[in-house]
Structures are given as structure tokens and as C-alpha cells.
Structure 1
Amino acid sequence: MKTSPLAYVAALAIVALPALGFAQTVKDSPELYAGEKTLYEAAAKEGLVVSFDTGPTWANWAAQFAAFKKRYPEVEMTYNDLGSAATVVALEKAKNRPQADTAYYFAASAVDAVNKGVVAPFKPVNFEKLPDVFRHPDGQWFTIHSLTIAFVVNKKLVKDVPQSWADLLKSDYKNSVVYLDPRSAGIGQVMTFAAAFANGGTMENVQPGLDYLGKLHKAGNVLRVLGTTPYAQFVKGEIPIWIAYENDGLKAKYTDGLGDDVAVVIPKEASAAAPYGISLVKNGPNPNAGKLWLNFIMTEMGQGIFAQGFVRPSVPGVALPANVADRLPAAPQVKPLDVIKAAAKKTEIDAGYAKAVAN
């Protein structure tokens, strides 16, 4: 029997993560995996890795960049923050002359990238440890962490913190809600499924989620819909309620100083947990540097860095830090997303969303 993604990631919280002491230079420390130094030598000749859609405020990527650069000083890092669906579009447009070495996205978009022939097979360190639902069989994508939909609330701007999707429709929350567009961002797709689960929908029937978003707009409660993550705006106090991932809220609360002014709520009716994957781009300009980067984030060190950013890692045996585990409450209402089924619903969500929120 296959382990569900949600049960699997929850099991990771059992053991406390030891001190990482991370980011020694590879030449001055033991290898994280066999062949690391040889791969680094090849990557150093390329000198650069181009990482698509790894925005630094998302999923603790900034810490990953810093650790990678310290360990591999002769390989520069460049990145962008496009959104999952937009990343696949960019890869397809540049198919004849790829600009990226790796691409990170909601795993349903990874399935789309495979279907469009823009990614290459690569099995990184710890690939064989991943459950089947967390990887493409040939390594054309693999999950590096999972994320859960939550309401991230600025309590300075919101008197009564909403606890449910039903609450969010109340007149108390006029012009208060911000979320990412399901047509361009993976989190928007996951949010749509979460809203569907909360309103009687399923993976096969996402219409209740689209209907809910339509009601949210008609109620006048949506402040704006964005294409990329508005973390900085939230921290600045510009967003009352952000339908986001729990790790963003926990980061704002515990890392970036907002403390008790932030509430992170997994809505009581239901939510969704989504695997996020990454791929080696087909015919990318720096293939060895790309492989070095992918291997790094799949090592115990790289996975531990995700955990420090309140993101649940995908590799078995990599435990969450004790203080992080305490801040991720049990949430039996969270349902794991089947990314194959989610990918099959993308066209329906795109068209249905435009119709549902039209004035």
C-alpha cells in the first residue's frame, strides 16, 4: 500500500533535527554523497546555475542559496520568481534554446512540463527513498517538500480571525482577502482544491471550489489577486488576510518578527497539502551545475534547511526541528493532493475561475 503524502510528511515530525552546522566548503569537508567533489569540479567549469521560480522569500530558498554558495564558492546562482504555470510557459517558449538549468513548481505543473517535453530525467541523491507519489518514475520531476493551505492573518488589521472558509464570506472581511491567481500560480490551484474539499468537492469535482471563489468576489471581500507571492507586502502590514501556505505565516510570525500579530489558521472544514517538485531542464546551459544544485537540496543538509523555514521536507529520515514541529499542529482536515488528477483539472480551473470571478 502506498503511503499518502500527508501521512508521510507528518511522520517526519517525530524526531528532532540535530544541529546542521551547514555550509562548509565542499573541498574542506566530507562529501555529502559519493561523487560530490567530482561533480563540483565539473560544475565549477560551467560556473553558474540558473534556477527558475525559486523566489527567495518562498520555502526558505534564500537560506538554500546562501548554503549552496558557501559550499560551492565557484558556482554562481541566479534565479527568478515566475509562478508555477508561468515557469512551464517560459520553458516551452525557450525550448529550442533553454535559459534555465532547473525549474521548481507545484507538482501538477511539473507533470505539465513532462508532457511538454521540456525537462530531463535525473535521479538525485535520496531519490529512491521518496514514495512513488512524490516522484516521476524516471526522475523528470521529484518532490522536495509539501505545503498546506492556511489563512495568514494580520491581527492588527483584522479584529476577529476567521477560522473557516465560511467565516471568510462574512461582511466583516470586506476588501481584506489576497490570494494568488489559480491560472498562473500553483498555490492558486491548490487553494481552489482546498476550497472545493471544504464545500463538498473532490479531486474529480473542483466546481465547488470555483463557486466558492466566485462568492468571495461577489461578497466584495477580495482585496486583490496576484501573480507571485506577496510575502513582503504582508510583512509590511499591507494585507489583512492572505490565503497562503502555513510556512509563510509561520515564517512571518517566528522568523521575521511579527509574533502575536500574526495568526496562522488551517480552515476547519478542510484544506489541501500539495507536493512541490523540481526538475532538471532539458538541454539546459549548465547541466552539471544544475545537477549539483538538485543534489544539494535533496541531501540531509538541504532538506534540513527547508525544515528550518517551516517547510516539511520530502526525504524520509530528515526530521523537523523540535521547535518547528511544535508549531505545526495536527490537522486531520488536511487532504493530500493527487498531482496527476490536479494536472488534468488545470484547463477546467483556468476557464472556470475566469467565469466564476467575472463581474
Structure 2
Amino acid sequence: MKKLLKTAAVIGLCLSTLAGCGGGETTAAVDLNALSVDEIIEKAKEDGKIESVGMPDTWANWVETWEEIEELYGIAHQDTDMSSAEEIALFKTEGEDATKDIGDVGQAFGPVAEEEGVTLKYKTSYWDSIPDWAKDDDGDWIIGYYGTMTVLVNNKIVKETPTSFEDILNGDYMVAVGDVQAATQAQFAVLAAAIAYGGDESNIDPGLEYFRKIAEQGRLDLGEFTQARIEKGEVGVAFLWDYNALGYRDQFVENNPDADFSVFVPEEASIQSGYCTIINSYTKRPYAAALAREYILSDEGQINLAKGYAKPVRDVELPEEVKAKMIPDEQYANARMVEDQAAWDETAKTLGTRWQEEVIAYAK
């Protein structure tokens, strides 16, 4: 999947790769911010299609947004799923021969894309209702949704449903984290645990100590981190972004009405991270790309993302049936965004190695 990557290490790989890539100046200096939404809509209809990267139908309910854009504006869509670093590298490598128009990248990759010169500025008409932390100064990248580290619980296995990191530590069931060497999601699980026990982006030690204790108990699952294994009951709890955990929960019940899974945000603390759209500065269809971003940040687009269990970046009123499937807002009280990205990037560079040496080495 596109999101299962080592954030900091991949950023480094992206930058080193791009340094040797072709490219050059963009095909045209299109000032999207100087156009009205109506003007963009008319020009987007002329573009006639849009090709995205890293925005597949199955992720965060992108499918509904793409279907509505085609229905409303006659703009056909096609996606190629890839990682954030791959998206940026593709934009840079193709350059003037661009085949893709817009991408969805991890929060840390927005500034990377801007630095590499592969972003086209567009603020959208919703600019003032987008939090400052979720956008750059002129629309090179804008976060559309975000996730929070949560825990998916198999209540058929776990007798007393936990609500905290401490509860999990005192349990007697298997705990799945994923591959900390390769998966951003797993790395953020360790960061969440670190914050819960007094650490932060520059001090991951408490998180490693927490999972080492679970490993020493013989409870750290070392098998492949898959939806199928979780569904089969091979683990009691699994650390996942909330939109993944909630999606799994509902899918498991759909597959088996007797299944009993719940999702919670750890009481002590948790960590959040967003995903942002970047419009390819070399795109041959800039207006279709701008219209897509406009729609993604509209009330309708934000609700579509919420239907895919993601947290919309704008404060929009969600339909009751959508709210009912989400985690109650009060559980997010102690969750926060990354506050020191530079420190986290440095920590993540060695986290995979430290996980092997300080956690896996103690597994029973």
C-alpha cells in the first residue's frame, strides 16, 4: 500500500533520487489563484480528464469523489497507486512529458514536493476555513484529511476491553504493531507510545521501552501484519490509523455478523498525521487538477472522506449516519499532530534499527 513507508528514510531517498532526475522548467506559468471557481470549472471541462497518483478508489473513499466529479463536470478519472516519494519522483522525472496531474502525499512530503519544484499553487475557495497547520502559505500543498493512531480490539479474544496503553501492557493477548522498519503506520504507533510515557519526537526511548516490555512478555506479534490475520483472531489488538481500524471493523462485521471488534484512541496520548494534495507543476491538465482539489475541500468532498473514516480537515457538519460510525470526539482530547517534524525525521531514520535491537531482540 502507498502509505506503508519509512517516512524519513524515504524522504532522504526521494531527495537523492530527484537530484539526478531530468525535468527543468514547468510547461507554463499557470496562475490558478488568479481565476474564479467558475473559470476553473469551465477550463476543467475542456481538460476533460484527470489522472491522479496515490488516490485509489479503496483509500478514504476516494471513489465517491471521483464519481461525483465525473457526474457533475464530465471529467473522467484514472489513478495509479504509489507511495508519496514515488509520486514526487514521477512528477520530477516526467517533467514536461507529464502524464499525471495530482497526487496525495503524506504530510511530511508536502514541503518536499514544494522544495523540488513539482507543485502548482492553488488555495481553493475554502482557504480561510482550512487550519493554518494544514496548508503552506500559498497553496503548494493542502492537507485534506488526517488520521489518529488508534487500537483495534478483537473483543472475542480480549476479555476486558482496554482503553489505554497501560491496559494493553497489563493484558494477556497478542499485540500487533506492524513492521517498524518499513511502515509509517507502525513507526507512529511507537511515537504515540513514547508520547504517552513522557517522550516526544526527539525522544523515542519510552515508546521502545513500552514495546520491549510487551516483547519480553511474549506478546508481541511477529507475524505478517495483515487484515486477514487480524480478522482470523491471530492477535488481540492491533495499532492502526483510525480510518484503517474503523474500515477493518466494519468489513469484519460485514463478512461475519458474529464478529465483535471495537476501536479506541489511547487515553494517555496519541499522534496524528495528515495527507495533502499536490498539483503537478508540469501537468497538462491544471484546471482539472485544481477543480479536483476544490471539490476535495468542499463540504461534499470532506464528507466523502469521512465516509471513508478519515477525519476531514475542515470543520464540516457530518450526516448522522456518518458520525455514528466514527470514534466519539472526546476520545481525541489527548491526540496531537507532530510538533517537531525535523526532530521526528531524524528519529525515524534510526527507528527501524533500534526497533530490531531494543525490541525484537527481546521477543519470546
TM above 0.5, one fold?
Answer: yes
Matched, 1:243 2:244: no
1:137 Cα deviation (Å)?
A: 0.6
Aligned residue-pair number: 314
Structure 2 CA distance for partners of 1:225 and 1:127, relative to 1, 3 Å: farther
What residue in structure 2 maps to residue 77 of structure 1? Answer: 78
Give the 3 Å change call, closer, same or farther, for CA 309–292 of structure 1 in structure 2: same
Aligned mates of 2:77, 2:165 — CA distance in 1: 43
Q: Confirm or deny: 8 A CA contact 1:103 1:278 kept in the other structure.
A: yes
Q: Tell me which amino acid in the other structure corresponds to 1:193.
A: L
Compared CA separation, residues 88 and 122, structure 1 to 2 (3 A): farther
Change (3 A) 1:355 1:254: closer
1:345 aligns with 2:341: no
Equivalent residues of 1:183, 1:349 under 8 A apart: no
Instruction: State the shift of 1:274 in Å.
Output: 2.5
Aligned pair partner of 1:194 in 192, 210, 225: 192
Q: 1:287 corresponds to which residue?
A: 286
Q: Is the 2:157–2:236 Cα contact (8 Å) retained in structure 1?
A: yes
Is the alpha carbon distance of 1:256 and 1:301 closer, same or farther for their aligned partners in structure 2, counting shifts above 3 Å?
A: farther
Letter in 2 for 1:48: I
Matched, 1:43 2:47: yes
Paired residues of 1:57 and 1:231 also in contact (CA < 8 A): no
Partner residue of 1:321?
Answer: 319
Q: 2:88 aligns with which of 71, 75, 91?
A: 91
Tell me, which stretches of 5 or more residues in structure 2 are unaligned?
Answer: 1-35
Give secondary structure in 1 for the equivalent of 2:51. Answer: strand
The farther-off stretch of 101-110 and 244-253 is: 244-253
Q: Who is 1:297 aligned against?
A: 296
Residues 206, 94 of structure 1: CA spacing in aligned structure 2 closer, same or farther, 3 A cutoff? same
1:261 positional shift: 0.9
Q: Which residue of 2 aligns with 1:209?
A: 207
Alignment partners' CA distance in 1, 2:232 and 2:124: 38
Which residue pairs with 1:61 in the alignment?
62
Please say if residues 144 and 303 of structure 1, whose CA atoms lie closer than 8 Å, have aligned partners that are also in contact: yes
Runs of 4+ in 1 over 6 A off after TM superposition: none
The residue identity in structure 2 corresponding to 1:334 is N
Compared CA separation, residues 333 and 41, structure 1 to 2 (3 A): closer
> Alpha-carbon deviations, 1:5-44, whole Å to 9, x = none?
xxxxxxxxxxxxxxxxxxxxxxxxxxx9533531332320
Query: What are the equivalent positions in structure 2 for 1:176-195 lying under 5 Å apart?
Result: 176-179=175-178, 181=180, 183-185=182-184, 187-195=185-193
Q: Do the aligned residues in 1 keep the contact of 2:264 with 2:327 (CA within 8 Å)?
A: no
Residues 119 and 280 of structure 2 are in contact (CA less than 8 Å); yes or no, is this contact kept in structure 1?
yes
Cα deviation, residue 288, structure 1: 3.0
Q: Residue 202 of structure 1: SS of its match in structure 2?
A: coil
Task: Tell me which residue corresponds to 1:164.
Answer: 164
Deviation per CA, 1:147-183, whole angstroms, max 9, x where unpaired?
Answer: 2211012333444433322333457223x41436465
> Does structure 1 residue 34 correspond to structure 2 residue 47?
no
* 1:133-172 → structure 2 map (5 Å cutoff): 133-170=133-170, 172=172
Distance 1:213 1:173 in 2: 14
SS in 2 for 1:40: helix
Matched residue of 1:49: which SS?
strand
Q: Which deviations, in whole Å up to 9, do the C-alpha atoms of 1:232-279 show, x marking residues without a partner?
A: 765576664321122333334457635761111111221123233221
Q: Is the contact between residue 135 and residue 141 of structure 1 (CA under 8 Å) also seen in structure 2?
A: yes
1:158-216 Cα distance to aligned partner (Å, 9 max, x none): 44433322333457223x4143646543x344323311211111244333234434444
Contact kept? 2:54, 2:79, Cα under 8 Å:
no
Alignment of 1:115-134 (within 5 A): 115-134=115-134
Would the alpha carbon gap of residues 157 and 77 (structure 1) be closer, same or farther in structure 2, given more than 3 Å must change? farther
SS in 1 for 2:304: helix
Partner Cα distance (1:123, 1:201) in 2? 35
Distance (whole Å) between structure 2 residues aligned to residue 119 and residue 256 of structure 1: 39
Cα distance, 1:224–1:168 mapped onto 2, change above 3 Å: farther
Q: Which amino acid aligns with 1:155?
A: N
CA contact (8 A) 1:214 1:357 kept: no
Distance 1:181 1:126, change over 3 A: farther
Quote the Cα distance in structure 1 between the aligned partners of 2:265 and 2:100: 35
Q: Which moved more, 1:329-338 or 1:298-307?
A: 329-338
Would the alpha carbon gap of residues 70 and 156 (structure 1) be closer, same or farther in structure 2, given more than 3 Å must change?
A: farther
Q: TM-score, normalising length from structure 1? A: 0.74
